[in-house]
Amino acid sequence: MASNIKIRAKVSDGVTTVKSLMSHVMETGLRKDKETGDPIPAHFIQEVTCKWKDQVVMTALWSGGVSKNPYLSFKFEGGEPGDLIEITWVDNKGESDSGSAEIS
């Protein structure tokens, strides 16, 4: 399965900036189906982790308050062009996805 995470990472003066866009419905569980009136079950990303050289450089714990197809940007010290960045998420239903990109 192809990853639904788009990642760009760029290093400048020893600081790597990572930008990512994740495809996910991010349902809060508070909305109702317009046709049936039934509640739409909660379905959202709970944890996002970024690794560089098998070292965790960022972990985010989310809830249903994050918008659909979330965008995440962060910086960390270190990284060299060609190094691999990997981002992984896990949602409240146990589903997960991961993607990787080289630092430029």
pLDDT (0 to 100) of residue 3: 76
Q: Which fold has domain 5-102?
A: Immunoglobulin-like (2.60.40)
Q: How is residue 24 written in tokens?
A: 């996910």
Is residue 45 within 8 Å of 89, Cβ to Cβ? yes
State how far the alpha carbon of 7 is from the alpha carbons of 26, 66, 72, in Å.
Answer: 19, 18, 9
Least confident of 1-10, 17-26, 40-49, 77-86: 1-10
Does pLDDT of 2 surpass 90?
Answer: no
pLDDT (0 to 100) of residue 64: 83
Domain ranges of the chain: 5-102
Residue 42, judged by CB atoms within 10 A of its CB (0-12, 13-18, 19+), counts as middle
Task: List pLDDT tens digits, range 27-66.
Answer: 999 999 999 999 999 999 999 999 999 999 999 999 888 9
